[in-house]
Amino acid sequence: MSLEPEIFQQLLETVRRFVKERLVPLEAEVSRSDRVPGGVKQEMRELGFFGLSIPQEFGGLGLTMEEEVRVTFELGRTSPAFRSVFGTNNGIGSQGIVMDGTDEQKRHYLPRLATGDIISSFALTEPEAGSDAASLRTTARREGEFYILNGTKRFITNAPYADLFTVFARTESASRPEGVVTAFLIDARTPGLSLGKIDRKMGQSGSHTCDVIFEDCKVPASAVLGGTEGQGFKTAMKVLDRGRLHISALCVGMAERLIAYSLSYAMQRKQFGQPIAEFQLIQAMLADSRAETYAAKCMVLETARGKDRGDNVSTDAACCKMFASEMVGRVADRAVQIHGGAGYMEEYGIERAYRDVRLFRIYEGTTQIHQILIARNMIKEALAAA
């Protein structure tokens, strides 16, 4: 259900102001301390940021996909570490429940996820299963009314703060010797669940990942997401379809900001007696960045509208993620170049953005996975039409 247009405009305005006045001034401090201040997290709770995409009947704002990407364009105008604070509650940490959870699971978890009272994480990736998500090795052995989980999950965003994990594990199956993938909702305090040390990363300081380790971790049968074994892989793929659109919107927002900074710098920085913005080689970089960002923005909006209409947007969401994440990489590279020496210095924040955006080409599916996915779907569609 979409919001009234005026209410949505007010929300956009609030997000825009919060990003500009509250978050942007904190960026350098968050980067240095590798920590988002607790007070800011609380303000995000009060503003309803944890429940943007959770249905209104469970206490969220229930934004449509188009509304969500438009809000995300604004959130992209600051360090991605801030969005990460509530990113998993809106995205990969909650959408499995929204899409495939039982009524009981929705009632139990979604209201607290929407308020940010609990934090959720999505535990799919493993040391030996990244792009090949279906090859995961974590097992969940059924014992009466319980399952016993064993295995390790890797690079799990927000795991150090999570209260709830959506965990993908292999359960036994009569029809498949290798078993089937089943999703579980697991309380972080369950005995047998422990965390590894926080990973040190190239960028995105203030947002944290770590291993999640299961050693004879016993959970009740009611923890199976949706109550049915073997549905986990499809749930993961559906959640990622949505997540990929969200990340694409974030890339657009970051690119728009980098262009604004580059243009402003180029108009005031003088060399050879004139602002460097007057030089055609600088103009070419600005123009390429602007055109590519505009293309990505149109793609994201159009795909989001398709998703809201109920279309299957798997292929288009993959196109968006591939194009937008590669695009913001190029825009960030040009932003460093336009800023010259200043672009390489910490003080200006451009080098930080350059490092931050590098992740977008990797997580929630690499560019190469998207190329494969897009081409495979093209072939499938052609065969179906033949």
369 binds ligand COS (CB under 6 A): yes
Among 128, 43, 148, residue whose Cα is nearest residue 85: 43
Mark whether 364 is an active-site residue: yes
80 binds ligand COS (CB under 6 A): no
167 binds ligand COS (CB under 6 A): no
- Put residue 216 in one of left, alpha, beta given phi > 0 → left and psi -120 to 50 → alpha: left
237 binds ligand COS (CB under 6 A): yes
233 binds ligand COS (CB under 6 A): yes
Cβ-based nearer residue to ligand COS, 214 or 265: 214
Cβ-based nearer residue to ligand COS, 133 or 286: 133
Cβ-based nearer residue to ligand COS, 52 or 123: 123
CA distance 336 to 343: 4
Smallest distance, ligand COS to C-beta of residue 150, A: 20
Tokens of 251: 């890339």
One character per residue 11-40, x = contact with ligand COS (rule: CB under 6 A): ------------------------------
Among 28, 40, 134, 295, binds ligand COS (CB under 6 A): 134
234 binds ligand COS (CB under 6 A): yes
CB 233 within 8 A of CB 241: no
126 binds ligand COS (CB under 6 A): no
314 binds ligand COS (CB under 6 A): yes
- How many binding residues for ligand COS (CB under 6 A)? 19
131 binds ligand COS (CB under 6 A): yes
Among 133, 181, 186, 327, binds ligand COS (CB under 6 A): 133
364 binds ligand COS (CB under 6 A): yes
CA distance 32 to 343: 18
319 binds ligand COS (CB under 6 A): no
Smallest distance, ligand COS to C-beta of residue 202, A: 17
Cβ-based nearer residue to ligand COS, 181 or 336: 181
First-to-final CA distance of the chain: 37
Q: Which one of 67, 68, 292, 364 is the catalytic residue?
A: 364
User: Exposed, middle or buried by CB within 10 Å (0-12, 13-18, 19+), for 278?
Assistant: middle
Site for ligand COS in 96-125 (CB under 6 A): 124-125
Kindly indicate which of the ranges 37-45, 69-77, 237-245, 290-298 contains the residues binding ligand COS, using the contact rule CB under 6 A. 237-245
238 binds ligand COS (CB under 6 A): yes
348 binds ligand COS (CB under 6 A): no
Cβ-based nearer residue to ligand COS, 124 or 335: 124
Smallest distance, ligand COS to C-beta of residue 46, A: 28
The overall longest dimension of the chain from CA atoms, in Å, is 80
Kindly indicate which of the ranges 70-78, 236-244, 251-259, 299-307 contains the residues binding ligand COS, using the contact rule CB under 6 A. 236-244
363 binds ligand COS (CB under 6 A): yes
Kindly indicate which of the ranges 60-68, 72-80, 128-136, 180-188 contains the residues binding ligand COS, using the contact rule CB under 6 A. 128-136
Non-local CB neighbours of 277 within 8 Å, separated by 6+ positions: 263, 266, 267, 283, 286
Residues binding ligand COS (CB under 6 A): 124-125, 130-134, 233-234, 237-238, 240-241, 314, 363-365, 369, 373
Q: List the catalytic residues.
A: 364
